[in-house]
Structure 1
Amino acid sequence: MTVTRPHPLDSFFNPSSIAIIGASRDVTKIPGLLLSFLRKNQFSGAIYPVNPNYPDIDGLTCHPTIAAIGQPIDLAIVIIPARVVLGALEDCATLGVKHAIIISSGFAEEGGDSIAMQDAIAALAQRTGMRISGPNAEGYYNQIAGIAATFSPTVDVKPDQPRLVATTKRIGIVAQSGGIGFAIYNRAKSLGIALSTVISTGNESDLGAGEFFDYMVQDTATDVILLFIEGIRDVDKFLAAARKAAELGKPVIVVKVGRSGAGERAAASHTASMAGWTAAYDAVFARYGFIVSNDLDEAVTIAAVLTTSPLPKGDRVAVVTVSGGAGIWGADAVSTQGLQVPELSDGVQATIRGLIPSYGSPCNPIDITAQAVHSGGLQKTIELLDRSDEVDAILVVISLSSETRMPFKTPELKPVIAAQNKPIVFWSYTLSSNFARTGLAESGVVVLSGLTHVSVAFRRLVDHARFNLVEPVATVAAAPNDLAEHLTAPTLSEYDSKTLLQIAGVALPGEVLVTDKSALDAAIAKIGFPLVMKIQSRDIPHKSEVGGVRVDITTKNEAAAAYDALIASARQHRPQAALQGVLVSPMARKGVEIIVGTLLDETFGPMVMVGLGGVTAELFKDVVYRPAPVSADEAASMLGALKAAPLLNGFRGTPKADVSAAAALIAQISQLAAQFEGEIAEIELNPVLVHPASEGVTIVDALVVRKG
């Protein structure tokens, strides 16, 4: 028997008593709105206004202090000047108040001395065990329990505007911006998407987005989670919640803002310069199967489809339309997303033809015409396609502008939607009337109006249905070695880097560093022709930029000339560089060029990257990141996610590459990055040549950057 343990935030989101410290009679201002919205939404528990300036507010006794209440308090909502917030919280903690939401602003967001006030709040929470949301928070709204612990106008109750509810599944929203979190709810509400809870996290002095996310994951009333993220502070809790959501199969939609150039860095490697500001976030999202969206309406559309549909079993879409042109438009939109709009079998087409006028079309897109709407052909076609194994999702393209006439009969459509075997999504190419939206909501249908957003939602659902959670990989303890002794400079030369990697157990080709031209012949005798010669200097991380590489050398005379030219070119382009010599290497066999790299992210730690390699790595930026370490299986999936993946799989008759060897190398380097995250900032192998199947890989060049 499974025992469900209570979550630490259960009484935060479902309090039996709430005190409003700073309550007001003025319902045009935030302190008055907090009390007004709590009462309008019919909070069933006890409400205690606290303000020494009033004897009562709206029929409730108003207490001069929280101590004067004399009753247990589950949640205190604090809306008083910033300078007196800490004292009020101390009083709350002394009286055993379990939770607090600080609506008041004027803390870390203002900088200066205000940061210290927020730090003191965090220390109080740590010392007393009282859990605190905010400061600078907008509170939360628990729709199921009718608890509006917020001043957001989106929770106002207007009896003359009945609430539209189309879904039985509910979304939970965690937002690091109060305004955006409640804006998401506002837009979802207008479509008829039911809500469990929306929470604004504020400045996160104590409770953070990760912990609220964890609550949504275990909350049985929350079916789909929507996150609006600026940056994660409680990383471990966030990652644990992400894995838990993936294990439960609870979809998570995430919008991450702050993707522009705010995170510029002076990067020695291609790996870092290609990372971008949010590469690590995207890597974490990919690992745990999050559905990423960069648009508010798109995210809400995805939520609408997830709360009204099962996941598709494939990528074949049937488009059913009452307008030929609109149907073609719908087919184009889903095709643009890489989904199939297959031609239906003769048998299915023949059945559909019997349901529509002769001037309709049973092909896909299926034009049933407006006439078939009135004869029932539209619904019968939808039912037929829902049962068919020839398609995996249905896009219904329809006009819903009428204020008097519905294309469906609710008693007939409702059981179809309730029992649907695949996504059935409705897009109206006209502005849908309130009459139509309300009528279809009774059947469990959300009417959508953005075709691009709808097609993206189909794509995201298909991808999400294919997601498989990888088993976590532990960081293996590093073998005893003198690796740290070789981290002698901030940036190592290729020779230094390869020496370090060899000590760590990475297989590399035999090479010789020639520090004086007199030793060149001995190096050639050891390496053999054809060979490659490269200048070596810790001050020259990118050798090709100074003419520091010579390839396919086949004679001693060519080697001698190359040695002189490399030294001269390096001194010309980098006169201040300290030269170590020339590295003599065997000419590598042909293979597909990839880049394998690692970097340290300030939030999530070591990351491993793989991409299309060589000198064009930064040009194409065809790269995939994951948190390190990764298994060989996850590394193989990273390779498969590259746009250039066909080059590894026998593109146009070329031999299939040794993907397993490449994956093993990626996994090995990811372990190295995790083991030495305290010492190594970046590793880059570029290019790595992936040879034909069973022939392994060759690391041509390497760069290691010491952690500053």
Structure 2
Amino acid sequence: MIFSDPASVAVVGASDDPAKWGHWLARGALTGHERRAVHLVNRGGGAVLGRPTVRSLSELDEAPELVVLAVPAAHVPAVVDEALAVGVRGFVGITAGIDDRVIRRIREAGARLLGPNCLGVFDAATSLHLAWGRFQAGSLGVVSQSGQVGLEIAGLAASSGIGVSRFVSVGNQADVTAAEALLELVSHDLTTVVGVYLESFGPGIVAAMSELREAGKPVVLLTVGSSVAAQEAARTHTGALTSSLDVVDAACRKAGALRVPTPASLVDLAAVLTSGVPRGRRVGVVSDSGGQGAIAADLAVANGLQVPSLSVVDGLPAGASKRNPIDLAGAGEQDMANYARAVEVLVRGGEVDAVVLSGYFGSYGEDTPSLEALEVAVAGQICALARRSGVTVVVHSMRDDSAAVRALRAGGVPVQHTIERAVASVGHASRLSGSSPEVATRAATTGPFHPGYLAARELLSFVDFPQAHAVTTTADVEATTLKGPFALKADWLAHKSEHDAVRTNVTNPAAAFEEMRARLGPGTYVLEEMDTREHTVELIIGARHDDSFGPVVLVGAGGVHAELFRDTVVELAPVTPATARDMLGRLVSAPLLEGWRGAPAPDVAALAEVIAQVSQTLAARPDLAEIELNPVRVGPDGVLAVDALVVSGITSAGPALSATVRSEPAVRTAHVSSDPAAGPSEIRSAHPTSF
């Protein structure tokens, strides 16, 4: 409860100057003075905001539970030492550039630090306001790595009418992590939806988002392409074929969260989700303009929604169209109650999961003040219909603010000023309908890791490979009982094509062996029967350990052109066969797996089993960095992998090259003032992750 409802707080660096952080933090802290003791500390003494100050924490009779550090970095070590000496247990580190030794002292003392380089914390439930800016109380929980992005989200939430329940700027996450901040929202009663902005992802994020979803609190994630997952130094195609957002999106699917591209889209979506998740993708459109209704219908389809035909349309005004979208054809202007009647027809008909009302509604009272009361009353009826039916209702109004717009938002019906934002928010929200992330087992393979193709075949015993054996001499080759044509490979090389270390369609294996050994030197080679089946499709199946999210599995178009086509799908591992089949269905090349142009359909069920087992194996084997099967040839009679690579998780140089590399954001040096109540630019450096 230190960072959500402390019994007492102290703002160190409190100031009477409105341009300084210490002023904003002191003013915010004092809003909760009836709930907790608030102490203002300024080494010059005097009064701040009409309240007496103390020159140091040691002058207080009792140790404050939470201390806000709003002094220049040079003064922080002395403040922290004094605070720990008197028994302080929590710190909010507004200041940037706090020395690692100071952070270590806080941890060693058993205290906690939020930040440093953060914007602060706000909690509407406990009147806690220790952050720059103003917040409107509401239902959106915000956890942000960037203080300024978080503040923008909070401002947009206020404008949209949903407000903020709790705001946590985690800054550099030197101690308190974003995952911890998210977990605190699971039991936070005011929070119904959670918005998150992160630039890097650490352990526990997926689990925290999953817990929030299970608690009925959907998570909306905003990120950029520079997360830790983007730092690829891959040895195999498996890593090279993924991007940062591929893995982030897979994490969202695993956790039942949604990713959006902008702060505005985050708040738009959160506004819809505060009223609940749409039951499905069917949407009904109502407008008093045929053109606006048609535009809304087109956008709905473009956003993955369905605009079904209607069979239950009794109750519409005379002249209104009885198809979807419903065009009131001027009936709304004649009687505004017809807007509510049309919405009622849709929500009670049971044929749609969401309703989009588009057009002029919300503007009548502004243009004709005598109509304002009636319009507000109709808005109330629409809100009541949405609440009683459980059908999601979203309004696009040509007014961005009016009495009716405010009434709709207050009643739980989101309103957007553009139709594209209104429809996009419904489309995003519908992706959660009926989704229930599956839980897959972790089926471990046994045996130690050994390098090479033959060892990989042995380790991955659940995969079928062509008949093969090791050869080291020409005599070994000549003694083979395998049936040609053959493939000949250098066992020890990872990327054989790049080293010209593989020959296919070999009819004279002895000659091919002698030529290859002359170029590559002595060693173990593999003579293998070629897979000559017809109607096969080549794919790549890979799995690796991502530094941010753990094991991931990839499937895509395979063979030597895998990097050319880059047709891949990624999920967090382990996956079930059902999820594996879904992955296959999302490939651009998926039609090839359905029997393209009359060809017999490949055995997709067997292929899905292999994908699942590869994912489960890597998830159960932390000693393995990567597994790759490429190509995997699947035909009507089953699956054969004709090359395999397993990479150890430990090398002499440290972690395997395929693991993602953590890249800490650059910190720019800021000018440090000697004034302990310095202004914003002096307290917090221009760090790229924060305000």
Shorter-chain TM-score category? 0.7 to 0.9
Following TM superposition, by how much is the alpha carbon of 1:394 offset from its aligned partner in structure 2, in angstroms? 0.8
Q: 1:97 Cα deviation (Å)? A: 2.3
Q: What is aligned with 1:490?
A: none
Q: What secondary structure, in the 3-state scheme, does the structure 2 residue paired with 1:464 have?
A: coil
Matches within 5 A, 1:19-418: 19-39=10-30, 44-107=35-98, 117-118=99-100, 120-152=101-133, 154-155=134-135, 170-233=139-202, 235-236=203-204, 238-259=205-226, 263=230, 265-308=232-275, 310-345=276-311, 347-348=312-313, 351-352=315-316, 355-356=317-318, 358=319, 360-375=320-335, 376-399=337-360, 400-402=362-364, 403=366, 404=369, 405-406=371-372, 407=375, 409=377, 410-418=379-387
The residue identity in structure 2 corresponding to 1:321 is S
Correspondent of 2:457 among 487, 501, 511: 501
User: Is 2:542–2:626's contact at 8 Å kept on the other side of the alignment?
Assistant: yes
Amino acid at match of 2:332: A
Identical-residue share of aligned pairs (%): 29
Asked whether the 8 Å contact 1:536–1:583 carries over to 2, the reply is: no
Does the alignment pair 1:594 with 2:594?
no
Query: Which residue type is aligned with residue 47 of structure 1?
Result: V
Structure 1: how far apart are the matches of 2:532 and 2:419? 51
How big is the shift at 1:341?
Answer: 1.0
Q: Which residue of 1 aligns with 2:393?
A: 424
Mapping of residues 557-596 of structure 1, within 5 Å: 559-560=507-508, 564=511, 580-581=524-525, 583-589=527-533, 590-596=535-541
1:706 Cα deviation from its structure 2 partner: 3.7
For 1:396 and 1:498, locate their aligned partners in 2 and report how far apart those are by CA, in whole Å.
Answer: 63
Alpha-carbon contact 1:547-1:570 (below 8 Å) kept:
no
Tell me if the contact between 1:261 and 1:276 (Cα under 8 Å) persists in the aligned partners: no
TM-score after normalising by structure 1: 0.83
Out of 424, 431, 436, the position equivalent to 1:468 is 436
Which TM-score applies when normalising by structure 2?
A: 0.85
Q: CA deviation at 1:396?
A: 0.8
Q: In structure 2, how many angstroms separate the alpha carbons of the residues matched to 1:604 and 1:317?
A: 35
Aligned to 1:158: none
Residue number in structure 2 paired with 1:623? 568
Deviation at 1:367, TM superposition (A): 0.9
Offset of residue 522 of structure 1: 3.5
For residues 123 and 474 of structure 1, do their structure 2 counterparts lie closer, same or farther at Cα, with a shift above 3 Å needed?
Answer: farther
Contact 2:200 2:227 in 1 (8 A): no
Tell me, yes or no, if the aligned pair for 2:441 and 2:616 is still in contact at 8 Å.
no
User: Structure 1: which 5+ runs fail to align?
Assistant: 1-9, 108-116, 156-162, 488-495, 554-558
1:369 counterpart SS class = coil
CA contact (8 A) 1:514 1:584 kept: no
Name the CA distance, whole Å, in 1 between partners of 2:232 and 2:271. 39
In 2, the alpha carbon distance for the partners of 1:501 and 1:249 equals: 44
Listed as ranges, the gaps of 5+ residues in structure 2 are 652-691
- Alpha-carbon displacement from aligned partner over 1:280-307 (angstroms, at most 9, x marks no partner): 3332222111111122211111111111
Deviations 1:79-123 (A, max 9, x none): 11212313322322232323210111124xxxxxxxxx12x2332
CA distance in 2 between counterparts of 1:149 and 1:578 reads: 69
Amino acid of the structure 1 residue aligned with 2:347: D
RMSD: 2.9
Distance 1:85 1:264, change over 3 A: closer
Judge which range, 390-399 or 412-421, deviates more: 412-421
Distance 1:311 1:182, change over 3 A: same
Greater CA drift, 55-64 or 192-201: 55-64
Q: Does 1:663 align with 2:608?
A: yes
Map of 1:5 onto structure 2:
none
Q: How many residues align?
A: 639
Distance in 1 separating the partners of 2:157 and 2:267:
6
CA distance in 2, matches of 1:382, 1:277: 42
Q: 1:545 to 1:322 in 2, by over 3 A?
A: farther
Classify 1:177/1:546 alpha carbon distance in 2 versus 1 (closer, same or farther; 3 Å).
same
Q: Is the 8 A contact 1:17 1:46 kept in 2?
A: yes
Q: Shift of the alpha carbon at 1:16?
A: 2.9
Aligned 8 A contact 1:533 1:563 in 2: no
Amino acid at match of 2:174: S
1:305–1:577 distance in 2 versus 1, CA, 3 Å: farther
1:691 corresponds in structure 2 to: 635
